[in-house]
Amino acid sequence: MIVIMGATGTIGSALLERLVDLGVPVRALSREPEKLRDQIGEKGRSTIEVALADASDPESLRRAFAGASQLFLAMSNSPSQIELETSIIQIAAESGIKHIVKISSPAFEQSSPVAVAGWHQEIEKTLRESGLTHTVLRPYAFMQNLMRLAPTITTQNVFFGSMGDSPCNFIDCRDIADVAAEVLTNREVSGQIYTLTGSEIFSYPQIASQLSALLNRPISYINMEPQVL
């Protein structure tokens, strides 16, 4: 049995679709199980078991992990992430889970100001020390997150950011889900660290230029200090 944490997220929901297509039994966790059942629909109900669980509730996790052999772990980035994922890993080990697939972030230098990278490095260290077989997926920026720019593009023909003209690699979350499905169902490729990228890199000014051409109207990018956004 594969347990999916983050089943309602962009990657998790795509992963559920892949595993349903493969006919793999899955236990999908949610704080709102009825909402998740509605999301899954009829197609997935034969292979997906929906269970109530909360990352901050150890007892709910123990119930959810019972009888499972693998865990897919994806959480929204937050200051409490180290504490929560450390607890999840410990409970998974105690519950008999043998393999964890974790969504992490690209590796950065220790001196990097990117706080999220430091959080994931600490969690990866916990995974290594747990003794569990684990596969770490380190995707770059999610392509789907660009949709957050849509409101001001629609109303003002402009979008804002703090990237300057630095290039960034974007990857579709569905591609990340494909990799996750492979490592969960193929032991030959598990137990590794995979850095996941798209095929090209773009700066925000380049994205503005491409949007201008696609929409047939001028779209501008305005760079701002991170604390302003």
* Residue 91 CB neighbour total at 10 angstroms: 18
Cα separation, 60 vs 29, whole angstroms: 10
Residue 190 or 84, more confident:
84
168: tokens are 């960034």
Q: Which CATH number fits domain 2-140+171-197: 3.50.50.60, 3.90.45.10, 3.40.50.720, 1.20.20.10?
A: 3.40.50.720
Q: What percentage of the chain has pLDDT greater than the value 70?
A: 95
pLDDT, one tens digit per residue, over 62-119 is 999 999 999 999 998 888 899 999 999 999 999 999 999 999 988 765 555 567 778 8
CA-based angle 106:130:52, to the nearest 5? 80
Domain segments of the chain as ranges: 2-140+171-197
pTM of the model: 0.88
Digit-coded pLDDT (tens) for 127-156? 998 889 999 999 999 999 999 999 999 999
CA triplet 177, 182, 178: central angle to 5 degrees?
25
